Amino acid sequence: MKVIKFGGSSLASGAQLKKVFQIVKEDPTRKFVVVSAPGKRSKDDEKVTDLLIDCATKSLLNEDIQPILEKIIARYRSIAEELDLGTEIVAEIQANLEELVAGDKNKPDYYLDAFKASGENNNAKLIAAYFNHEGLKASYINPLDAGLYVTDEPGNAQVLPEAYDNLYELRNSADILIIPGFFGYTKTGKISTFSRGGSDITGAIVANGVKADVYENFTDVDAIYAANPNVVQNPAEILNLTYKEMRELSYAGFSVFHDEALFPAFKAGIPVQIKNTNNPSAEGTRIARERPKTNQAVVGIASSKGFSSIYIEKYLMNREIGFGRKVMGILESDGLSYEHTPSGIDDLTVILRSAQLTKEKESELINQLKNELGADIVTIHHHIALMMVVGEDMRCNIGTMSKASEALAKNNINIEMINQGSSEVSMMFGVSEADEEKALKALYEAFF
């Protein structure tokens, strides 16, 4: 049994839905279909989710929402017309949106989340109607009826463990089930969405719950590439990845698959197959616990901008037990999440995402670190890009670091930081943001 998930670009128009229908129809083991909201039809198009966010935000501010509401309905209408579905389903969607507009504005987070979730929810209803219209028995199922319970964190929900057992019951359905992605329900019956791109997470949760043999994730690329194709020309396709490798790559910028979506699949040992709706015969990328060995130590290179470093220096830091704990305690009390902590004898650097900092927060933090730790120097630097060289086989290969650093040196790129844990799944280089693209090209050429 397969769980199959389609992303927004696969569901953006009637023409795309026809491809989706063929893909589901041709394999009777594709029983659980998880869907996103309609995405972009072209580069400058708008995603329905973004329109919904805009609409809810304006509505909360009591601004005029009529034009944007009409735009959202028009997206569904154009799909329904392309598929000859009649007007009933569009009227149903329109009524639902009007109900949402009239919702309780005293709880803005839930108000917004109900709007966001409606993108996938209404799309799932439309897709079920379309499949039945084409003679394939399919039922829409609401996440509440499926028992997909999540934490009460609008916009950042997490699945509750009992959801898995509830979802197992879906195996008894004779019909193909169309399940909206991106949200679940709290125990008090409120809608709570996952983080953006979270339909991937729903797909993985359903795959775990129904104990699927494979979780197929259909998107708009033939495979996951060894480097960002917007920077490196025709990068190699990756056929096989381990969960760990995928996690490292998506952490540092690979956006094909939501990084939080790996965990539910990984926990149940369910392989994830990334495929292309526009070219379903392409093999795609398989992500699993293990993969066949290759003679490549490195499987992919990711990079991500937007990091800052806090440099802390104190003479005899190495002899001060508890120094690191105190640093982390200060970050924790300020609600700051950190990424890496490369260190020297008398210094420690904390890497964190710049978006968490403001000018005021920064000067407060510097004062706190200086006063509470008695540090000699505390400075903050911005505009750091992290380059991640990823591959589990680095463990049994010698010379990966030398090859990488040589490639960067040859291209006159200064390495500001290096980090490698003993798991040896990835190697991290901090470089200036201005050098990011050059560094990615240099590293790609060195390893591929």
* CA triple 42-43-46, angle to 5 deg: 75
Return the closest-CA partner of residue 413 out of 443, 387, 439, 383: 439
Helix axes 108-133, 88-101, angle to 10 degrees: 170
Among 47, 75, 77, 275, binds ligand ASP (CB under 6 A): 47
Stretch that binds ligand ASP, among 172-180, 190-198, 214-222, 262-270 (CB under 6 A): 190-198
In the complex, least distance from residue 8 CB atom to ligand ASP, rounded to whole angstroms:
5
CA dihedral (268, 271, 275, 280) positive or negative: negative
Work out whether 242 is an interface residue with ligand ASP (CB under 6 A): no
Which among 442, 440, 308 has a CA at the least distance from the CA of 384? 308
Q: Minimal distance in Å, beta carbon 75 to ligand ASP?
A: 13
Pattern 199-228, binding to ligand ASP, x per CB under 6 A?
A: xx----------------------------
Candidate ranges 136-144, 191-199, 309-317, 390-398; the one touching ligand ASP (CB under 6 A): 191-199
CB of 199 to ligand ASP, least distance (A): 3
Q: What are 47's two structure tokens?
A: 């995603």
In the complex, which residue's CB is closest to ligand ASP? 199
Tokens found for residue 367: 């004062």
Tell me if 154 contacts ligand ASP by CB under 6 A.
no
Contacting ligand ASP (CB under 6 A), which of 4, 119, 218, 299? 119
* Residue 350: alpha-carbon gap to chain centroid: 24
Token pair, residue 35, equals 């869907």
Q: Taking CB under 6 A as the rule, does residue 197 contact ligand ASP?
A: yes
- x/- contact string, 48-87, with ligand ASP (CB under 6 A)? -x--------------------------------------
Entry field: residues in the chain? 448
CA distance 60 to 329: 37
Contacts to ligand ASP from residues 163-182, by CB under 6 A: 181-182
Nearer to ligand ASP, 257 or 447 (CB): 257
**Structural tokens at position 259:** 């990084």
Q: Encoding tokens for residue 436?
A: 């990011």
Residue 54 phi/psi, 5-degree rounding, is -60, -45
Question: What's the rounded Cα separation, in Å, for the pair 235 and 224?
Answer: 10
Q: Which is nearer to ligand ASP, 155 or 342 (CB)?
A: 155
CB of 403 to ligand ASP, least distance (A): 36
How many residues at the interface with ligand ASP, by CB under 6 A?
A: 14
Q: Does 287 bind ligand ASP (CB under 6 A)?
A: no
Q: Which is nearer to ligand ASP, 215 or 429 (CB)?
A: 215
Residue 36 interacting with ligand ASP (CB under 6 A) = yes
Helix, strand, or coil here: 215? strand
Q: Which of 169-177, 196-204, 293-301, 362-370 is the region at the interface with ligand ASP (rule: CB under 6 A)?
A: 196-204
Helix (H, G, I), strand (E, B) or coil at 109: helix
Give the span between the Cα atoms of 256 and 242, in whole angstroms: 15
Binding site for ligand ASP (CB under 6 A): 7-8, 36-37, 47, 49, 119, 181-182, 196-200
